[in-house]
Amino acid sequence: MSTEELVTAVRAGDFPAVARLVEAMPDARRRAELPRLGQLRRELRDSATSRAGAATALLIAGAVCHTAPSGAADWIGGRDFDVRHWPHPPLLALLDARPADWQREVALRLARRPADRTGWGNPAPYQIAEHLLRRSDTPPPAEPGFVADWMGDRGRPEPRPWLRALPPGPDLYARLRADSFTPVLAPLVFDADTVQHLSGPWAAKDPSQRWPAVLARLAAEGVVDRPALIGRGFARLVRGGGPGELRTYLDVLRGLRPEVGELADNRRALLAMLDGDSVVAGFALESLVVLDGAGLLGEGEVGEAAGVVSGRPEKKLVRVLLGWLERVAAGGRVGVALRAVAGCLGHPDRLVQGRALKVIKRYVDSVEGGVVVELRSAALLLDPSHAAVAAELLGVAVEVPVGTVVDRLPEPPRPVAVPAPFGTPAELAEELAAALDGPEESVAFERILDGLVRQVWTDRDALAAALAPVLTEHEWRLLGRLAEIATGAVPRPRVLRALQSRQARLFSAWEFRGGIGEFLAARLHETAWRLAADPVPFLLAAPSWCNGALEAGELVARLARYEELGVRPGPVDFAQALLRTAGDAQAAAAAERLTSAAGRQLAAWLREGGLPRQSAVPVPAGTRRPGVRAWEGRRYSEQPGLTEQQLARFAIPALPVPGVEPADGPPDAVRTLLGPTAPFHRRSAVEDSAPGARWTAVLPHHREETALRITGQLADSAQDTPVRGHPQVLPLLAETGGPCGFAVHQALAYGLGAGHAEDRSATVDALLSLAAQRQLDPAALARETLELLALGAVKPNRLAATLAELADPAPQFTWSVLAALLPGLLDGPPPRGAGDVLAVAVDCARRSGARGPIDAVTRTAARRGSTKLLAEARNLAALLGDRRPTGSMGTDNEERSEA
């Protein structure tokens, strides 16, 4: 029998032949076949037409030819095998014929592999490991990866055909009940990364046939060690993790319904869970209340729990805590309860403070000495609105702020010059390496782009040598691709094809969609051609300032150098240079001496003041345009765009690219960018890129025009499932020039309601910067915010969080926005969470010294009830100097949070 016979049988997927040939080989001959099998493995891996049967045959043949367990396990566990249905009787017979020690060692080695987290990995290593474990009579190992793979395998619609002991059909309970692995592996589901399995299997339509319910049933029947399972569940929640995974594990633990004794056995875990995810902490608090009601919690543990929960921001948790402490006091442990209640007096929510004071009022006469001292000390943290109650109960004078707090606004942004161009390829390589490993930064991008152009013009070979160590692993990054083009690593024909065919574009990713995105892509394509086949000494559009602006005199000098060298400007590069340059009479006079078509265009551009400024025009809600859907009837904005005569100022002769027909007039990308804007409508985050520094640098003198073109992405940041990161562009927008119109204020209103805390913080930075520049209209910002609130596009709780952060350095500016916002917010039924906004308004009014009644606030304060909205309205009405009677405070039973 020759080696080629075995290779031929493997290629054909002839399992009986493969089994017959391998079975006849002694171990020495099997080892001798490994080099050829390894070569065949590489061939199949690189082939786009390899058959699944060949991969299956090769997997088993190579495994059995490895007489050492370590080599066999490495072969089976290779990531390049994609074998979905491997267990064929002839191949199983090869594995079954190996010695038991070999089977056991291979199985244990495979079991130690990490589980596949994607759900699309090769299942064969687990299946073979399980088969070998059962064949060698080896108990399943307690390996986290093996546990996760076992769960994934048992969740299949049908069990493996060779596991005859398991019942057919999708009955997960029956399958696990009959599985000898279940008593060993099921208690370990909390020890492995099993979240993706615990919510399933999705094939089971009945919740009782999914993992949480099935595990609870097996634990109740004694098939699974219930104490071990519950103990591991508590330990897993203590370890922490993402909110989604923790809540999945909590669902499993809740399904087990721990009894009082089991809760008592895990009391330390419950106390530790109070500091975790809010839902997990809520479960822990409920469980501790149950333990205390059963007399199984000591005074020290009550105090420990209260100390953690009272410091949490979630009002719901603290209200549950106060209700528990009131029952503790009613049961006779007054000192323990009031010491714990003292921790709630410093909570940021005034209603929580008020409820804590009610508990103190009922029981303060029952304590003395040290407890009273602690209460008085904690009362110093109370909000000034509780000053009178604190003085009456505890004899404490709560400090009431006197005077007006001055806004701490930042210095208005000043222009920062872009560093000088790179002098050597080594300097460029160092900067490129840093840029490839870090986040996008516009200045570095522009310098590297211009640096690549300069170094290709000077010495392409020296550039290639300097960049060789940098580009080994980063070719997929944008700058990496451009650097490969510059060094010649991307062949010139491919660059040419990318310019000739839209399908073959080098920069066709979703990040370049939309008007600004298409313009950026066109500039990169043009630069790629310059780098590959038509070098120039430098780019005309390289900015002078970090915000993207270009000095007019510098552009005139660059274009003069182009004329001197006989270099033709790129149309998109020239258009970007114009857009970055403002009107300048002195530079226009110098440009009059230029002789090229681009020189004449530049002179006219500078003489006439640059890009004509256009404000965004609000379009009433419900207005329709042919072929465009205005999202949810919202008021949107649009611009008429430049006229054909104005667009003609961007028209210069096209570059002579082979196979690309030169077009007359301005480049299409310029027409898309500066033509009429489409009415605003909500766009999918999948269809549009995240705006960044390169976006705001396209029109650095026109922030209103830029804002109009990014509003769709900012809307995605405020939706129910918010997209992360889009409002990070707002501080960059604030650093550009131009007035703030409707589009800027609408963009900021979306930022006020961003779903992620870091995006709201970026919005605050932008607001402070624009306020320092005196570019914001508080009434306009309030008007746009109210419209988005009415449509549900901005959530009141998110708005309140942003305004509270803004009020810390700038209470007066924040109050100017709130004063314009509150009448509309309180006109009609207030939205859920309006009480949070009113709470911020109370703080701002106090710190800014605001005076003068607001009718809407006065009317709200006069209503009966004790919700947070009404309580904060009364606080605000009193601060503003409204002395008219307010509604009744109601009873404790009426207290309902509107947050």
pLDDT score at 795? 93
pLDDT score at 621? 59
d(Cα 799, Cα 824) in Å, to the nearest integer? 15
pLDDT 10s digits, 685-718: 333 467 888 889 999 999 999 998 888 888 888 8
User: What letter does residue 413 receive in the DSSP assignment?
Assistant: P
Q: How confident is the model at residue 889 (pLDDT cuts 50, 70, 90)?
A: very low
Read off the pLDDT of each residue in 340-361 and give the average, rounded to a whole number: 92
pLDDT 10s digits, 147-185: 988 988 888 776 666 566 676 666 889 889 999 999 999
pLDDT score at 367? 86
Read off the pLDDT of each residue in 572-597 and give the average, rounded to a whole number: 94
Read off the pLDDT of each residue in 463-469 and give the average, rounded to a whole number: 92
d(Cα 659, Cα 681) in Å, to the nearest integer? 38
Most confident of 13-17, 291-295, 615-619: 291-295
Most confident of 15-19, 252-256, 693-697: 252-256
pLDDT score at 410? 93
d(Cα 733, Cα 873) in Å, to the nearest integer? 36
Assigned token pair, 316: 């719901």
CB 410 within 8 A of CB 769: yes
pLDDT score at 122? 66
CB 394 within 8 A of CB 364: yes
pTM of the model: 0.74
Residue 47 has pLDDT above 60, yes or no: no
pLDDT 10s digits, 313-340: 999 999 999 999 999 999 999 999 999 9
pLDDT score at 634? 54
Residue 837 has pLDDT above 90, yes or no: yes
Mapped to the 3 state alphabet, what secondary structure does 772-788 carry? HCCCCCHHHHHHHHHHH
Read off the pLDDT of each residue in 13-24 and give the average, rounded to a whole number: 87
User: What letter does residue 726 receive in the DSSP assignment?
Assistant: G
Residue 483 has pLDDT above 70, yes or no: yes
**How far is CA 611 from each of CA 679, 702, 705, rounded to the nearest angstrom?**
21, 9, 11
d(Cα 152, Cα 115) in Å, to the nearest integer? 10
CB 19 within 8 A of CB 58: no
pLDDT score at 899? 36
User: What letter does residue 617 receive in the DSSP assignment?
Assistant: E
Nearest CA to 705 out of 642, 764, 762 is that of 642
By mean pLDDT, which of 41-50, 301-310, 321-330 is the weakest?
41-50
d(Cα 127, Cα 548) in Å, to the nearest integer? 58
Q: In sequence order, which ranges of 618-756 are alpha helices (DSSP H)?
A: 644-647, 668-674, 693-696, 703-716, 730-734, 742-752
Residue 897 has pLDDT above 50, yes or no: no
The angle, 0 to 180 degrees and rounded to 10, between the axes of the packed helices 334-342 and 350-363 is 160
Average pLDDT score over the chain: 85
Residue 563 has pLDDT above 80, yes or no: yes
Read off the pLDDT of each residue in 91-115 and give the average, rounded to a whole number: 88
Burial class (CB in 10 A: 0-12, 13-18, 19+), 141: middle
CA 459, 464, 466, 470 torsion-angle sign: positive
Assigned token pair, 341: 């209640």
Q: Which residues contact 677 (CB under 8 A, 6 or more apart)?
A: 515, 637, 638, 639, 641, 708, 709
Nearest CA to 541 out of 507, 581, 593 is that of 581
- For the chain, give the percent of residues with pLDDT over 90: 52
CB 729 within 8 A of CB 692: yes
CB 131 within 8 A of CB 92: yes
* Residue 295 CB-half CA count within 13 A: 2
Residue 628 has pLDDT above 70, yes or no: no
d(Cα 867, Cα 876) in Å, to the nearest integer? 14
Q: How confident is the model at residue 650 (pLDDT cuts 50, 70, 90)?
A: confident
Q: How far apart are the first and last CA of the chain?
A: 80
Nearest CA to 344 out of 317, 373, 365 is that of 317
Most confident of 147-156, 723-732, 813-822, 840-849: 813-822
pLDDT score at 115? 62
Q: How confident is the model at residue 625 (pLDDT cuts 50, 70, 90)?
A: low
Please count the other Cβ atoms lying within 10 Å of the Cβ belonging to residue 55. 22
d(Cα 681, Cα 635) in Å, to the nearest integer? 10
Q: How confident is the model at residue 220 (pLDDT cuts 50, 70, 90)?
A: very high
pLDDT score at 79? 67
d(Cα 111, Cα 127) in Å, to the nearest integer? 10
Read off the pLDDT of each residue in 466-490 and give the average, rounded to a whole number: 81
Residue 569 has pLDDT above 90, yes or no: yes
Residue 579 has pLDDT above 80, yes or no: yes
pLDDT 10s digits, 842-856: 999 999 989 999 999
Residue 769 has pLDDT above 50, yes or no: yes
User: What letter does residue 191 receive in the DSSP assignment?
Assistant: T
Q: In sequence order, which ranges of 413-513 are alpha helices (DSSP H)?
A: 425-437, 442-467, 478-487, 492-500
CA dihedral 97, 101, 105, 108 (to 10 degrees): 90
Read off the pLDDT of each residue in 45-54 and give the average, rounded to a whole number: 62
